[in-house]
Amino acid sequence: MELLKTLALFVVTAVAEIVGSYLPYLWLKQGKTIWLLVPAAASLSLFAWLLSLHPTAAGRVYAAYGGVYISVAVVWLLLVDNVRPSTSDWVGVAVSLAGMAIIMFGPRGA
């Protein structure tokens, strides 16, 4: 159960970061309204707060989070950008999730 809670928190955190970065991208690259920066700032603030909810050392959280971020970004590529990820994209997702699992749930030395 702890594994699912941790993974869900990472996924929500990644979505908050991607949304917070994607909205300024829409303004800068696609000429959308500058008002997108308001929800972008809120989303990035939510992202930072969500990272603080993990019950382990910050460095470990940031390292493990990177793996989940990669996974969510590839799903974003498919669902939002409408670009079909390649086989190597999915292999990268698998490798990054394996790394995340090792970092977060591997045995700790004394």
Q: Would you list the DSSP string of 22-59?
A: HHHHHHHHH---GGGHHHHHHHHHHHHHHHTTSSS-HH
Every domain of the chain and the residues it spans: 2-105
Q: Is the pLDDT of residue 25 over 80?
A: yes
Q: How far is CA 17 from the centre of its chain?
A: 6
CA distances to 2, 42, 57 from 17, in Å? 23, 10, 20
Q: What's the pLDDT tens digit per position in 57-79?
A: 778 888 888 888 999 999 999 99
For residues 56 and 9, which has the higher predicted lDDT (pLDDT)? 9
pLDDT score, position 81: 93
d(CA 32, CA 28): 7
pTM across the whole model: 0.83
pLDDT tens digits, one per residue of 30-49 = 999 999 999 999 999 999 99
